Structure 1
Amino acid sequence: MKYVILIHSSPRPWGHPTGDFVPENQGRSAEQREQENVEFDAMLREMHQRGELVSAEALGDPAGSRLYRWSDGERVVTDGPYTEAKEQLAGFFLIDVESPERAHEIAGRFGVPGETIELRPAMWPGGEDA
């Protein structure tokens, strides 16, 4: 079963890992942040060894994005970011796991204060669950 883990964040300045640039996380102790980084790296190694980590990408600053929409039957292109929301899509992980429970277990270990993690099932182009 494939799932996408989406990381929504608002780092200032834009940078990765986003938790290093989010005020809510920067206010925590260096020891706590380092321990969480060690645990996260261990989880990524485990996922890789189990064949669960398919792909992952950090995304660039949304200020550099372009929007392609339709209005009155015409294509309209504008500069990003794509939304006025505080948080933007910062990156994603594509995972392939044995069960929804495993996907929830993994997603629950992502993120730091100041970030929102979204777990979404992936679908094949025909619309059926992957």
Structure 2
Amino acid sequence: MPKYLLLKHYNGGPAPIGNHGPMTGWAPEDVTAHLDAQRRIGDELRASGEFIDAQALAPTGSYVRFGGPDAAPVTDGPFPEAKELIAGWYLVDVDSEARALEIAAHVSSAPGRGGRPLYEWIEVRPVLEDVPATDQA
């Protein structure tokens, strides 16, 4: 079965529908409702056997690159371009791309500020099938 990565962005994709603002400006009960909805979706995907992984990410981070054979890694950040950072993801194993799109639409409908659906854009990316996964470091 094909695997898909469903990427949630802090503020990415085509023009948003509605303006919920950043989660840091939401009422605590709205944040809780949103996170509870994400957990329910994960539970639904586990029950259907389509769940592989899901994670939420903090809006902070650094860019890192190789500094050379005798140098420490070069880091920079945080960056003001936080709007392009990934907020989190679901990794699913589904029967078809159509099913991945259906799940992404469901994720998009999670509640935002005031309980209104976010209608956020979810980036759907197929996982390459011909590249072997590894669990070795």
- Per the normalisation by structure 1, the TM-score is 0.61
User: Displacement, 1:88?
Assistant: 1.4
Q: Which residue, out of 83, 90, 93, partners 1:86?
A: 83
Q: Who is 1:6 aligned against? A: 7
Q: Secondary structure of 2:4's match? A: strand
Q: Which residue, out of 51, 54, 57, partners 2:52?
A: 54
Q: Is there any run of 5+ residues in structure 1 with no aligned partner, and where?
A: 11-18
Which amino acid in 2 is paired with 1:4? L
In the TM superposition, what are the counterparts of 1:36-47 in structure 2 within 5 Å? 40-47=38-45
Partners of 1:8 and 1:101 in 2: CA distance: 21
Tell me how many residue pairs correspond in the alignment. Answer: 110
Q: Who is 1:103 aligned against? A: 100
Partners of 1:88 and 1:67 in 2: CA distance: 14
User: Displacement, 1:48?
Assistant: 0.4
Partners of 2:40 and 2:51 in 1: CA distance: 13
In the TM superposition, what are the counterparts of 1:20-35 in structure 2 within 5 Å? 21=23, 26=26, 34=33
Q: Secondary structure of 2:83's match? A: coil
User: Displacement, 1:126?
Assistant: 3.1
Cα pair 1:52 1:95 within 8 Å, conserved = yes
RMSD: 3.9
Structure 1 stretches of 4+ with a deviation exceeding 6 A read none
Q: Which residue, out of 114, 122, 126, partners 1:121?
A: 126
User: Displacement, 1:81?
Assistant: 4.3
User: Displacement, 1:84?
Assistant: 2.7
Cα pair 1:4 1:94 within 8 Å, conserved = yes
Q: Is there any run of 5+ residues in structure 2 with no aligned partner, and where?
A: 12-20, 113-117, 133-137
Partners of 2:37 and 2:73 in 1: CA distance: 44
Which amino acid in 2 is paired with 1:107? A
Q: Answer 1 or 2: which has greater strand percent.
A: 1
User: Displacement, 1:85?
Assistant: 5.6
Cα pair 1:59 1:90 within 8 Å, conserved = yes
- Per the normalisation by structure 2, the TM-score is 0.58
Q: What percent identity do the matched residue pairs reach? A: 35
